[in-house]
A and B are shown apart, each in its own frame.
Chain A
Amino acid sequence: MAETLKDSPIRAVQVEALVVMKIIKHSSQTFPTTATGSLVGMEVNGTLQITNTFPFPTVEVPATDGHQQESPSSLAAAAPRAKANVAYQNEMIKFLREVNVDANNVGWYTSTSMGNFVNVNTIENQFFYQKEMNERTVALVHDVSRSSQGSLSLRAFRLSPAFMTAYKEGKFTTESLQKSGLRYQEILVELPLTIHNSHLLTSLLHQLPSDVPKEELAFPSNLAALQQDPNTPQPPLYPNFDSLDLSIDPFLEKTCDLLLESIENHHTELNNHQYYQRSLGREQAKITAWQQKRKAENAARVAAKQTPLPEDEWQRLFKLPQEPSRLEVLLNSRQVEQYARQVDGFTASVSTKMFAVKSNLLPGE
Chain B
Amino acid sequence: MADTDSFLHLARPLGPAPIGAQPSTAPLSVVIQPQAIFSILDHSLRRPADQERVIGTLLGTRTEDGTEVEIRNCYAVPHTETAEQVEVDMDYQKQMLALHLRANPREVLVGWYATSADLNTFSALIQNFYGQQGDGTWPHPAVHLTVSTVPGKDIEARTYISAPIGVTAERAADSCLFIPVPYEIKYGEAEKSGLELISGAKDREDRTQVILTDIESLERAIQQVLDMLERVSNYVNNVLDEEATPSSALGQFLMNALSLAPKVDPADIERDFNNHIQDVLVVSYLANTIRTQIDLSNRLATAALTMGTGDVITGTTGGGGEGGQKGGQDRRQNARRGGQQRSNEQ
Contact = CB atoms under 8 A, between A and B. Distances in A.
Contacts of A362: 266, 269-270
Contact of A274 (B188, B198, B313, B325): B325
Contacts of B25: none
Contacts of B76: 99, 101
Contact of A259 (B198, B202, B290): B290
B280 to A, nearest CB: 5
A221 B249 CA distance: 6
Nearest to B156: A207
Contact of B1 (A154, A210, A219): A210
A336 B290 contact: yes
Contact of B249 (A183, A223, A350): A223
Given A200-B44, A204-B37, A256 B342 contact: yes
Nearest to B191: A24
B221 A241 contact: yes
B136 interface: no
Contacts of B192: 237, 240, 242
A365 B196 CA distance: 35
A219 B325 contact: no
B317 A248 contact: no
A273 B321 contact: yes
Interface string A11-41: 0001011101110110110000000010000
Contact of A349 (B89, B218, B262): B218
A163 interface: no
B10 interface: no
B211 interface: yes
A332 B287 CA distance: 13
Given A54-B103, A252-B280, A259-B290, A151 B212 contact: yes
B196 A239 contact: yes
A174 interface: yes
Given A18-B38, A152-B196, A175-B313, A353 B302 contact: no
B224 A219 contact: no
Given A203-B154, A243-B214, A330-B298, A270 B199 contact: no
A309 interface: no
Given A178-B304, A239-B196, A333-B295, A201 B41 contact: yes
A248 B33 CA distance: 31
Contacts of A220: 247, 249-250
Contacts of B151: 199
A116 interface: no
A14 B201 CA distance: 13
A338 B261 CA distance: 38
A255 B214 contact: no
A358 B274 CA distance: 10
B301 A174 contact: yes
A86 B202 CA distance: 36
B188 to A, nearest CB: 7
B276 A354 contact: yes
Interface string A155-192: 10000000000000000001101100001100000001
Contacts of B99: 88, 91-92, 95
Interface stretch (A2-10, A121-129, A299-307, A339-347): A339-347
Given A54-B103, A239-B224, A340-B287, A195 B318 contact: no
A110 interface: no
Contacts of B220: 238-239
Interface string A79-98: 00000000010011001001
A148 B189 CA distance: 7
Contact of A204 (B155, B266, B270): B155
Interface in B76-95: 76-78, 89, 92, 95
A150 B219 CA distance: 12
B42 interface: yes
Nearest to A57: B102
Contacts of A325: none
B202 A202 contact: yes
B335 A280 contact: no
B105 A58 contact: yes
Nearest to B295: A333
A252 B314 CA distance: 41
Interface stretch (A61-69, A260-268, A311-319): A260-268
Contacts of B217: 150-151, 239-240, 243
A197 interface: yes
Contacts of B154: 203, 207
Interface in B251-282: 252-253, 256, 261-262, 264, 266, 269-270, 273, 276-277, 279-281
B194 A152 contact: yes
A223 B34 CA distance: 33
A91 B291 CA distance: 44
Contact of A207 (B1, B41, B277, B283): B1
Centre residue among B39, B103, B270, B342 by max chain A CB count within 10 A = B103
Nearest to B256: A223
A88 B218 contact: no
Contact of B273 (A153, A195, A201, A354): A354
Contacts of B33: 25
A205 B198 CA distance: 8
Given A204-B155, A281-B314, A351-B280, 7 more contacts: A17-B38, A259-B335, A270-B325, A333-B294, A336-B290, A343-B283, A347-B283
15 contacts: A17-B198, A58-B103, A58-B105, A150-B217, A174-B317, A194-B209, A197-B202, A200-B45, A241-B221, A259-B286, A259-B290, A326-B302, A349-B214, A361-B261, A362-B269
Interface of A: 14, 16-18, 20-22, 24-25, 27-28, 37, 51-52, 54-58, 88, 91-92, 95, 98-101, 144, 147-148, 150-155, 174-175, 177-178, 183-184, 192-208, 210, 219-223, 225-227, 236-244, 248-249, 252, 255-256, 259-260, 262-263, 266-267, 270-271, 273-274, 277, 280-281, 284, 326, 329-330, 332-333, 336-337, 339-340, 343-354, 356-358, 361-362, 365
| Leading 10 A-B pairs by shortest Cβ distance | A28-B190, A21-B35, A99-B76, A57-B102, A219-B247, A240-B196, A340-B291, A151-B217, A100-B46, A239-B220
